[in-house]
Amino acid sequence: MRAFALAILTALTLAMPCTGSSAAPSAHGGAAGGGRFAAAAAGPRRTRTGFLNANRPYTFTFPRDHAAHDGYQSEWWYYTGHVRAADGRRFGYELTFFRIGLRPGDPRPSAVQSAWRGNQVYLGHFALTDEHGGQFVHVERLAREALGAGWASEHTLDLHVDDWRLEGTQPFRLRARAGSDAIVFEEFAQKPPAVHGYAGVSRKADCATCASHYYSMTRLRTVGTLVYRGQSLAVTGISWMDHEFGSDELQAQQVGWDWFAIQLDDRRELMLYRLRQGDGSVTPESSGTFVDPRGRVTHLALGEFAIEATGLWKSPHTGGIYPSGWHVRVPRCNIDVRLAPTLLDQELANTSGGVSYWEGAVDALDMTTSRPLGVGYVELTGYAGSIAM
């Protein structure tokens, strides 16, 4: 459900307490979810294009499921975070990797086949938000499987797009460089994976294939080196990782989405997404996940949270008008916060496929006192032109 991957796809072709102690999804695939889920997971094994359908129960097994899943059409590993240098400067960062399958069931090239053969396309996206200097930079990369330019293991977390690389699980090791900017990070999981949705299925609409298998590592202690404009800085901080895979997930009437990942200082985390329809309504299957300090997970239906924009920002690059600043409430989880962008202009304008969207670092603040309560990342699509599904 990420704009960068969808741009390339277009171009290429309940009443549970907030303790997670009830029938909440677990790190190994979640609870049955009752009759409501059973009705939702009745789709075919494969989509109309022949890829595996994610709208079926799925049991996650880690660390295996950190790796690639070639049977599904699209997949991404999304790292976002906040780091601080010794001199107090703060940076937001994003490093994301995408895998796009071209033909279902076509195996990877063997040792005796042409090195130019390949059935996967890999993409990378690297961005930095310099909160002190008020600057935002972003770079994209695209690599075919041919000649080994892009690759992802189906057995362990080991993938690369050219020389950008992600490998390992404890710690996760991230490396990317673009010109005078770079990151070399190690990230240590403080909580188990948080599986979203029910029975390993995160629904995106009511169609037979509108779903993904989706989990997050919601609290990653981050250490390493950030190079910014040629200056090497030792940094520490906190990161979030999303890993999601599926096929034929969205519908034509869905024009964009708002996605939120919030990490509170009291060790609670929150993921919310709202898929927006062309008529201005919100897709009823939009949902969220609450993670308590012990790592226990609670699913949140659309009616259990509220997100209200507190301002607007007009892009000087695209003319798109985005919400900017939000009041987020989850009453049953005692969450009532204000999200404020650390920099207004964090728009990725005119990316591959012609899509422009906003994705950036935010601070979580107390609604009354503006006292800092945590950090987060927000992604907004469909405000500078709809996303082609």
Contacts of 139 (CB under 8 A, 6+ apart): 125, 126, 127, 178, 179, 181
CATH number given to 3-380? 2.40.370.10
pLDDT of residue 42: 58
Which value, to the nearest 10 degrees, does the dihedral of the CA atoms of residues 155, 244, 212, 32 take?
70
Spell out the domain ranges in the chain.
Answer: 3-380
- The pLDDT value given to residue 205: 87
Q: Give pLDDT, residue 34.
A: 35
Peptide bond preceding 331 in cis form (omega within 30 of 0): no
Distance, CA of 159 to CA of 176 (rounded, Å): 12
Residue 2 exposed, middle or buried by CB count within 10 Å (0-12, 13-18, 19+): buried
User: What is the structure's pLDDT at 38?
Assistant: 39
Q: Give one DSSP letter per residue of 249-304, joined into a string.
A: ---TTEEEEEEEEEEETTS-EEEEEEEEETTS-B-TT-EEEEE-TT--EEEEEGGG
> Residues near 366 by Cβ (< 8 Å), separated by ≥ 6?
337, 338, 372, 373
Selection from 67, 389, 375, 381 nearest residue 243 by Cα: 67
Per-residue pLDDT of the chain (389 residues; tens, 9 = 90+): 455 455 444 444 434 457 654 434 444 444 333 334 434 455 789 988 899 999 999 999 999 999 999 999 999 999 999 999 999 999 999 999 999 999 887 666 666 766 676 789 999 999 999 999 999 999 999 998 877 789 999 999 999 999 999 999 999 999 999 999 999 999 999 999 999 999 999 999 888 889 999 999 999 999 999 999 999 999 999 999 999 999 987 777 788 899 999 999 999 999 999 999 888 899 999 999 999 999 999 999 999 999 999 999 999 999 999 999 999 999 999 999 999 999 999 998 877 667 888 999 999 999 999 999 999 999 999 988 766 54
Confidence (pLDDT) at 19: 61
Query: What b/e string do you get for 173-208 counting C-beta neighbours within 10 Å, with b at 16 or more?
Result: bbbbebeebbbebbbebebbbbbbbbbbbbbbbeeb
Query: Residue 240 — left, alpha, or beta (φ > 0 → left; ψ -120 to 50 → alpha)?
Result: beta
Compute the residue count for the chain.
Answer: 389
Cα–Cα distance for residue pair 388/10, rounded to 1 Å? 7
Q: What is the pLDDT of residue 115?
A: 66
Amino acid at 100: I
pTM over 0.75: yes
Name residues whose C-beta falls within 8 Å of residue 75's C-beta, 6 or more positions apart in sequence. Answer: 68, 69, 98, 99, 152, 243, 244, 245
